[in-house]
Amino acid sequence: MDTRDAIAKAREMGLDLVEIAPTAKPPVCKLIDYGKFLYEQKKKAHEAKKKQVTVQVKEIKFRPGTDDHDYDYRMENARKWLTDGDKVRAAIAFRGREMTHRELGAKILKKLTVDLADLADVEVYPKMEGYQMFTIFIPKKAKMEKKPEKKKDLGESGKAAADVKNETTETKKEAADNNEAAPVKAKVESAEPKKKTALKNKPSAEPAIKSAEAVKES
């Protein structure tokens, strides 16, 4: 269809002529509401961004003379971040004459690599960048710990309520059994009076016999 004809058709229908695939041969256009089209595109982009998982890079810093307590504290923070799925950048900052003792920084990073080996892989091996020596760790997907679900604790009040509920259920069950047995018993008892009434109303055969004997004698 010619472009002019398509524009005229869109105006007749109260819509817009929108080029959907400009790189296609021939280009693909649609007669749609352009405002609604932009809204749907924006909504799709928002949903995609909402589902996207963002990985942050957390940083811990050391000095060549960092003591064991400070090292352990920073190492525990690194383990926590790796467990949450973030990357960790460990940096050693050198000042002045400390640049002549780079082996001290390499020793700290090597120890950190060993301590984090169960949770992380090395993405960037130790290297110098200005006055810093750094390395980057990424979490192991297979080793990421899953947060355990907290089980609801009923407590004493919850347990007591559960016991009361069980007792109520048992009581209802016994009552239902008694109700089923009661009609049968009543039916049997009601049948006995009917039987006695029938025997009482049954005509006696003795008067008939006596009347027959009297006729014979006469």
Closest CA to 136 of 114, 103, 111, 109: 109
Q: Is the dihedral of CA 70, 73, 79, 85 positive or negative?
A: negative
Q: How confident is the model at residue 165, as a pLDDT?
A: 58
Q: Which of 19-33, 36-50, 68-82, 133-147 has the highest mean pLDDT?
A: 68-82
The residue-averaged pLDDT of 55-65 equals 89
The side-by-side arrangement of strands in the sheet containing 132-139 is 57-62, 87-93, 132-139, 120-129
Confidence of residue 215 (pLDDT cuts 50, 70, 90): very low
**Hey, where are the domains in the chain?**
3-51, 57-139, 157-207
Q: Are 101 and 114 in contact (CB under 8 A)?
A: no
Into which CATH architecture does domain 3-51 fall? Roll (3.10)
Distance (Å, whole) CA 19 – CA 3 = 11
pTM > 0.75: yes or no: no
**CB-based contact 144:118 (threshold 8 Å):** no
The least confident of 6-10, 81-85, 148-152 is 148-152
What is the model's pLDDT at position 186? 46
- CATH class entry, domain 57-139: alpha beta
Residue pLDDT, tens place only, 98-156 = 888 899 999 999 999 999 999 899 998 999 988 999 999 999 875 554 544 444 444 55
Task: Check if the beta carbon of residue 127 is closer than 8 Å to that of residue 143.
Answer: no
Which pLDDT band, with edges at 50, 70 and 90, does 158 fall under? low
Return the number of other C-beta atoms located less than 10 Å from residue 171's C-beta.
10
Residue 218 has a pLDDT of 45
Query: 3-51 with 57-139: one CATH topology?
Result: no
Range name among 11-15, 38-42, 48-52 with the lowest pLDDT average: 48-52
Alpha-carbon distance of 119 to 113, in angstroms, equals: 10
